[in-house]
């Protein structure tokens, strides 16, 4: 079975998060982890961005690369926070360019309660945000993440 080594970077607002939703979706291959169905996953790094403006994004991928990371996920918390992370696309571009590592936006499905609130706030009305959330709302699994 093919093994994929991944890392997860979470928003520092949630620095005390134990990773429950991310790890559950990783185990169940839900949300953005659906892409790994039929593959073994090894988590080789889990950290925060270190808070705005994301100073740890400069250094954490290097440590993950030393552990063989192939894909880094920027956690769903960066997407569902209030406000959503304004630097998420920059982080993706920076990591992919500097470390030659694929970056995926999101981990677990967007919980329904966050989805509904962000619809009211129009947080994700732009085409760029629609593209980001597409794979995280395209499943009924998100209802189990409230």
d(CA 105, CA 78): 9
Give Rg (Cα) of the chain. Answer: 14
CB 57 within 8 A of CB 95: yes
pTM for the model stands at 0.95
Buried/exposed code over 103-135 (b: 16+ C-beta within 10 A; e: otherwise): bbbbbbbbbeebbeebeeeebbeeeebeebbeb
d(CA 145, CA 64): 27
CB 89 within 8 A of CB 120: no
Domain 3-145, architecture per CATH: 3-Layer(aba) Sandwich (3.40)
pLDDT of residue 143: 83
d(CA 28, CA 33): 8
User: Of the candidates 130, 113, 83, 105, which has an alpha carbon nearest to the alpha carbon of residue 9?
Assistant: 105
* Per-position pLDDT tens, the chain of length 146: 789 999 999 999 999 999 999 999 999 999 999 999 999 999 999 999 999 999 999 999 999 999 999 999 999 999 999 999 999 999 999 999 999 999 999 999 999 999 999 999 999 998 899 999 998 997 777 788 98
Domains of the chain, residue spans: 3-145
């Amino acid at each position: 079975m093919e093994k994929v080594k991944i890392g997860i970077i979470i928003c520092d607002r949630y620095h005390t998060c134990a990773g429950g939703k991310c790890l559950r979706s990783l185990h169940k291959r839900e949300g953005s982890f659906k892409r790994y169905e039929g593959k073994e996953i090894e988590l080789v790094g889990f950290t925060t961005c270190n808070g705005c403006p994301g100073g740890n994004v400069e250094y954490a991928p290097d440590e993950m690369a030393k552990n063989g990371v192939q894909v880094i996920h920027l956690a769903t918390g960066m997407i569902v926070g209030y406000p959503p992370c304004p630097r998420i696309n920059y982080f993706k571009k920076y990591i992919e360019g500097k470390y030659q590592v694929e970056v995926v936006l999101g981990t677990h499905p967007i919980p329904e309660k966050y989805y509904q609130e962000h619809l009211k706030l129009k947080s994700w009305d732009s085409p760029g945000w629609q593209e980001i959330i597409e794979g995280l709302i395209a499943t009924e699994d998100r209802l189990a993440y409230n």
